[in-house]
C-alpha cells in the first residue's frame, strides 16, 4: 500500500509488492518521496503492475504522449485517461487524479480493461 495518504492494493490481490525508487520504464527519478512514489505489485497470476503517485503539477511525468493513443475512461467514478502504446514497447498506462493525488497505473502485461479492474481494487 502507498500508506495512509495514498492508494494501494489489498493484500489479498497480490503475491508481493516492492517499493521502487525509480523506473527504467517511465524514467521516474523521485526528488520528493511524498509527491512521487512507485509500488510494483506481482499479482496472483504472476503478472506485474506498477502504481505510481505523481505530483498534481506533472501527471504525465515520465510519459512521452507522442508514443501513445489516449482514450477517456471512467475509473473509480472519476474521468481518467487510458494511454495505449503505439508500439509493443510502451506499457499501457491509466492516469487519473483522485482528491489531492495523481496516479499512474501501468503494465506491459495487462490490457486497459484489466488495468481498470486493478484500479477498482485500490483502497
Tens-place pLDDT, residues 58-94:
888 889 999 999 999 999 999 999 999 999 899 999 9
**Does the pLDDT value for residue 31 go beyond 60?**
no
Q: Which of 43, 2, 6 is nearest to 20 (CA)?
A: 2
The region that residue 9 occupies, defined by phi over 0 for left and psi between -120 and 50 for alpha, beta otherwise, is beta
CA–CA dist 75, 119 (Å, integer) = 7
Confidence of residue 35 (pLDDT cuts 50, 70, 90): low
5 C-beta neighbours (distance < 10 Å), count: 11
Domain limits for position 20: 11-121
pTM here is 0.85
Q: Give the CATH number for residue 33.
A: 3.40.1000
In sequence order, what are the residues at sequence separation of 6 or more whose Cβ sits closer than 8 angstroms to the Cβ of residue 6? 37, 53, 101
Residue 43 backbone class (left: φ over 0; alpha: ψ -120 to 50; beta: rest): beta
d(CA 22, CA 61): 12
* Residue 117 domain flag: yes
**1 found inside a domain:** no
> Is 96 inside a domain boundary?
yes
Q: How many domains does the chain have?
A: 1
Amino acid at each position: 500500500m502507498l500508506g495512509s495518504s495514498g492508494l494501494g492494493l489489498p493484500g489479498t490481490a497480490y503475491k508481493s509488492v516492492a517499493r521502487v525508487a525509480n523506473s527504467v520504464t517511465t524514467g521516474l527519478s523521485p526528488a520528493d518521496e511524498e509527491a512521487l512514489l512507485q509500488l510494483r505489485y506481482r499479482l496472483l497470476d504472476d503478472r506485474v503492475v506498477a502504481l505510481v503517485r505523481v505530483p498534481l503539477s506533472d501527471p504525465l511525468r515520465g510519459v512521452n504522449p507522442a508514443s501513445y493513443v489516449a482514450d477517456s475512461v471512467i475509473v473509480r467514478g472519476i474521468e481518467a485517461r487510458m494511454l495505449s502504446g503505439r508500439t509493443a514497447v510502451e506499457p499501457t498506462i491509466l492516469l487519473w487524479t483522485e482528491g489531492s493525488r495523481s496516479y499512474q497505473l501501468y503494465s506491459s502485461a495487462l490490457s486497459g480493461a484489466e488495468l481498470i479492474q486493478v484500479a477498482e481494487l485500490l483502497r
